[in-house]
Amino acid sequence: MEHFKRNSEAEVVLILTNNPQAYVLQRADNFEVPSHIFNRDEFYKSDDVIKLLKNLQVDLIVLAGFLWLVPVSLLKAFPNKIINLHPALLPKYGGAGMYGDHVHKAVLANHEEESGITIHFVDENFDEGEIIHQSRFKIEPGDNLEMIKFKGQQLEHQHFPKVVENLLKKMKS
């Protein structure tokens, strides 16, 4: 939201979440971006979310921290227009249950020499869509969970908005 507030080419038109306690709702309010909280039935058993997104003429759906599988109906309504940010270098450390600290702990437990982020298209499976972008960082001896998270978050802030911006430009050309 911060990046696109200063961007005349694109804007964040809506924040959607299934978590009424999500911090992103406060951030959306701070940036004066409308938000909508939905439940499992609304997401999986109705077309309400699709209708909302279509009414807003959304060009790209950007997931960050979203843990549910995206229903096929939404994938079909927005083909190759839903992307996700994953806190590891896929295909390693992806799939059901692999999010946030679970990913970073697995990376540490396996004594990986590097980790990073993956931005990918969303398909009907967890973390299996086509990779759009990956960025890496070196894991130094003595790096702990907090340091790995920090390094990953730095890459997210550096690359995610630019990847979104480039995708939107490609869609419009």
Query: Catalytic: 86?
Result: yes
Integer Cα distance of 74 and 49 in angstroms: 8
Question: Pick from 24, 13, 17, 16: which is nearest to 56 by CA?
Answer: 13
Query: One of 3, 86, 102, 133 is an active-site residue; which one?
Result: 86
Whether residue 38 contacts residue 18, with contact meaning beta carbons closer than 8 Å, is answered with yes
Whether residue 53 contacts residue 23, with contact meaning beta carbons closer than 8 Å, is answered with no
Whether residue 7 contacts residue 27, with contact meaning beta carbons closer than 8 Å, is answered with no
Active site (catalytic) residues: 86
